[in-house]
A = this chain, B = another copy of it.
Amino acid sequence: MTKNTQKITPKKMQDILYKLFLKYKFSKEKAQLMANVHTESTLLGVHSHGINRVPLFIEYVKKGIIKIDAEAEKVESFGSIERWDGHFGSGVVNASKCANRAVELAKLNGMGMVALRNTNHWMRGGTYGRQIADADCISIIFTNTQPNMPAWGGKYSRIGNNPFVVSIPRKEGHVVLDMSISQFAFGKINNYKLRGEKLPFVGGWDSNDQLSNDPEEILLKERGLPIGYWKGSALSIILDMLATLLSAGDSTYRVGLNEYETGVSQVFLCIYPEVFNDKELQEKLINEIIDYTHDVEPMNPGDKTYYPGEQSSKTKTKNLKEGISVNNSVWEKIVELSE
């Protein structure tokens, strides 16, 4: 804990966020859900999409970009797949509802999918991966975003970092991949800049159109690097296509026409593995993979390998014990907003 941060208990964070969201006229149910989700994300160590994002969220609410009373509704369905319209409501509320619906469909049919359009930023994608895993289902979910990376070969940012989430339920801790398609989030790049450090690997282009690990240079033009260069570029494009055509919603292109990032498209695909009566075998197979990758000499002394989601689960355990470190000015801002 530095002098710029203070420890907040999860209970305190939840209470103040609940109060804040109520003040901004969200229903009790929505306010509770959003307070839980933001607190949980922060507990897991993802401050950028937890507590730190709250002031921006409130700004969007004030501007009317996020509609307080909107309810996501089903607009079309066929068998195990459905299309929903989020009517520009809270991204967290909409995503949570659609993730639940995908679980219901999967438990009926083995698989279910909800494609959601006209929604807002879902904050931390892993939220819905863990929610679906808590319901004993596998998830494959993704969202598009505003343009923030160049397509490979192009000069300007025209593809999104389109977070991609896969989760698998597991007794000893869910396996949760929650990754954006950019090598580094701009928030992370900015943290390097503030610390006066270079990125450990190239993370975007400088003003001379060269790949760079200089955070200051990259932030000048905000052209992030896709993971795997041309590969992540292609992955980003096709995820955007899937989210857009399945939901009949806005693509990264269309989202980029707005002044603010809103109206994004998302897909919640869910598989219920318990339709096969071998839950124990499935756990054993997953644990074998975890043991095999854990039980290996590190590349650099002291390093460790992790399964997806393992580190954030450990952070949560630590934060539950010690309280959550929150930046003083972020916390003061939120307290002020809530009063």
**Within the oligomer, what is the number of copies of this chain?**
2
A177 within 8 A of B: yes
Closest Cβ of chain B to A250, distance in Å, is 9
Bound Cα distance from A205 to B238, whole angstroms: 30
Of B152, B156, B269, B271, the residue contacting A81 (CB under 8 A) is: B271
With contacts A81-B111, A183-B228 known, is A244 near B297, CB below 8 A? Answer: no
Instruction: Please list 11 pairs of residues, one from A and one from B, whose beta carbons are closer than 8 Å in the complex, sorted by A's number.
Output: A80-B110, A81-B111, A81-B271, A150-B299, A154-B297, A154-B303, A155-B297, A179-B228, A205-B299, A238-B308, A251-B288
Q: Is the CB of A286 within 8 A of B248?
A: no
List residues of chain B with CB within 8 A of the CB of A109.
79-80, 109
Chain A interface residue count, Cβ-Cβ cutoff 8 angstroms: 79
Bound Cα distance from A286 to B237, whole angstroms: 10
Bound Cα distance from A273 to B292, whole angstroms: 39
Bound Cα distance from A235 to B227, whole angstroms: 11
- A interface residues with partner B (beta carbon < 8 Å): 76, 78-81, 83, 108-113, 138, 140, 150-156, 158-159, 166, 168, 175, 177, 179, 183, 201, 205, 209, 227-229, 231-235, 237-242, 244-246, 248, 251-254, 269, 271, 273, 275-276, 278, 281-282, 285-286, 288-289, 292-293, 296-300, 303-308
